[in-house]
Chain A
Amino acid sequence: MALFVALFFFGSQAIVKPQKAYAWDLNDPHNYITPNSIYLDHTGNLVIDWARGAASHLQGAPAGYLTLSINGTSTDGTALLAESDGQPGYCGYFPPETFGNDSQNNFGNQNTFGSISDANAGHAITTEGITSLTPIYINMYGDIPFMNPYQYCYGVGEQYYGWSGPYYINFSAEQLTPIMLQPFNAEVMSDFPNWIVDLSVNNPPATGTLKIHYGNIDQNTFPTVDSIPYDVECSGACDTSVEVPKSEQLQYPQQQTSTQWWVYAEVQNTSTALDIQSPVETFFINPNAPQYAPAPSSSYLLGAGLGAASTTATCQFTTQSFLDDPNGNIEQAVCNVFNFLFIPNPDEQADLYQRFHGQWDQISNRVPFGYVSIINTAFTNFQEGTNTSTLITTTTYAALSSVLDPLKTGISFLLILLLGFWIFNFARTITL
């Protein structure tokens, strides 16, 4: 009797307040759904790896279902669906129907779900426009528990409602991230033929189109777009550099000073239907600045700038057999052995280069060293023997170089001399 009264009372509560679930109101819904990560897999499914907390409060709960809504839009039509775990003690058997896709069939453990993802056609959620700031809510609907498990086990009532969130996609665990390598932010360089973008792929394969949007500061927009298709296939996570031919000339013969440009990369990932953009970066084109080689990133594959090994000795002493030319064969064998032992092959050189520059590049970006690097980059356009002044043209500079260059050389000599005197005086008066 008491049980019926209690159920009536709770049921009435559920009807009067349909947005509340008494079963789930016992605890914060956050206790029930704890996403470990939210990301997009390589087929475009929005996946939530999650665990269920406070499982004891759901023991015996109905086989309702879970929906997921994005940006608080809908909890039904556009939602993701996944079945809750079965309650064999009450339902009698596992609920085999799949509201979500078939990857959700690990319901043996009542304390955990596997993951929910966008289901088969008709329930898919478009991932277009999702950013790291898009709130994601997990809505929970339930059925009346305990009254008649065999009857209500698969019912899809709305008596119980709870939600959890907002959560946000962790883009660091996302499938694809574009990182501008050439030019990098605040870089000063002369014109270059190709953009270079690192595609950091967490969940290959990744296919789509890489677009580079750019424009100068006067245009105040990104009117020019260069693009190239990409197809990254590797096992596990990987990084790969993609070069995009640049269509617009960024410097002109009459240009003498730096011009400021903006650029950002966009990947239209067809394998996930997700459009991801890199942050907008600023760079400066100066005709007198050097054109940098592709900068290998910290943990990325080595770029194309290293080239082939140039130190490998040629061990070609003979082409005859051992019996015909024993000395030549021995010399060649010794040469090969020493080559093998002491001269790293191109792969090893590339590996050493990457291992050293990987950490060094990171250190050079950390404070306080990073400030030196930034300032150094900002003043890169000062180089001896070049003209960066707008007071005179390059032609005039060339005509006057016979006078100006010795003048600069003389002043440089005087400065070095003064530095020498200063160091001498410093050493003479220093107290340790």
Chain B
Amino acid sequence: MIFYWIVRVFIYLLNLVTAPILLLPVAALSVNLTGTLTTAGNYMALFDIFLPVAMLFTIFGIMVSIEAGYFTYKVAKWIYNKIPGIN
């Protein structure tokens, strides 16, 4: 009972914080584009017998995430420094 309510309050707060995201539109790609992605995946699957494609994608995703995070930080810092009176 206690645990349930603790988790429920936590989920409520989490949902409250993330609620603005629900205002964003639903991501949708056309069937053609999705099919293209799948076709590209099938092409790359040809090399999956000796090349760890999943690992490649994972590492690529990590690198992109780090770079994107760093870029976001730099942009936020640039905007912050534009505020008068802040160096």
A389 within 8 A of B: yes
Closest to A337 in B: B1
Which of B2, B11, B57, B70 meets A352, CB within 8 Å? B11
A370–B21 Cα distance when bound, in Å, is 11
B75 within 8 A of A: no
Number of interface residues of A (CB under 8 A): 60
Contact A390–B50 (Cβ < 8 Å): no
- Of the listed residues B41, B46, B57, the one surrounded by the most CB atoms of chain A closer than 10 A to its CB is B41
Which of B19, B27, B35, B47 meets A370, CB within 8 Å? B27
Q: Which residues of B contact A374 (CB under 8 A)?
A: 27, 29, 34, 37
Contact B52–A384 (Cβ < 8 Å): yes
Which of A381, A416, A423, A426 meets B55, CB within 8 Å? A416
Task: Tell me which of A28-36, A133-141, A355-363 binds B.
Answer: A355-363
Contact A378–B25 (Cβ < 8 Å): no
Task: Tell me which of A10-18, A50-58, A115-123, A338-346 binds B.
Answer: A338-346
Give the shortest distance, in Å, between A420 (CB) and chain B (any CB).
Answer: 10
A344–B7 Cα distance when bound, in Å, is 10
Contact B45–A257 (Cβ < 8 Å): yes
Contact A186–B34 (Cβ < 8 Å): yes
Closest to B37 in A: A378
A362–B14 Cα distance when bound, in Å, is 13
A415 within 8 A of B: yes
Contact A257–B52 (Cβ < 8 Å): no
Q: B48-82 interface mask toward A, CB cutoff 8 Å, 1 = contact, 0 = none? A: 11111111110100110010001001000000000
A228 within 8 A of B: no
Given contacts A343-B3, A419-B62, contact A366 B21 (CB under 8 A): yes
Interface size class of B (residues with CB under 8 A): 35 or more
- Of the listed residues A381, A384, A400, the one surrounded by the most CB atoms of chain B closer than 10 A to its CB is A381
Which of A344, A363, A408, A415 meets B18, CB within 8 Å? A363
Contact B27–A367 (Cβ < 8 Å): yes
A388 within 8 A of B: yes
A397–B48 Cα distance when bound, in Å, is 11
Given contacts A355-B11, A388-B45, A408-B50, contact A378 B34 (CB under 8 A): yes
Given contacts A374-B37, A375-B37, A419-B62, contact A408 B42 (CB under 8 A): no
Residues of B within 8 A of A (CB): 1-4, 7-8, 11-12, 14-15, 18-19, 21-22, 24-29, 31, 34-35, 37-38, 40-42, 44-57, 59, 62-63, 66, 70, 73
5 A–B contacts, CB within 8 A, in A order: A257-B42, A379-B41, A391-B46, A411-B55, A416-B59
Residues of A within 8 A of B (CB): 186, 188, 257-258, 260, 282, 284, 340-344, 348, 351-352, 355-356, 359, 362-363, 365-371, 373-375, 378-379, 381-384, 386-392, 397, 400, 404, 407-409, 411-412, 415-416, 418-419, 422-423, 426, 430, 432
Query: When A and B form their complex, which 6 residue pairs have the shortest distance between CB atoms, in order from nearest?
Result: A370-B27, A378-B37, A388-B45, A382-B54, A366-B24, A344-B4
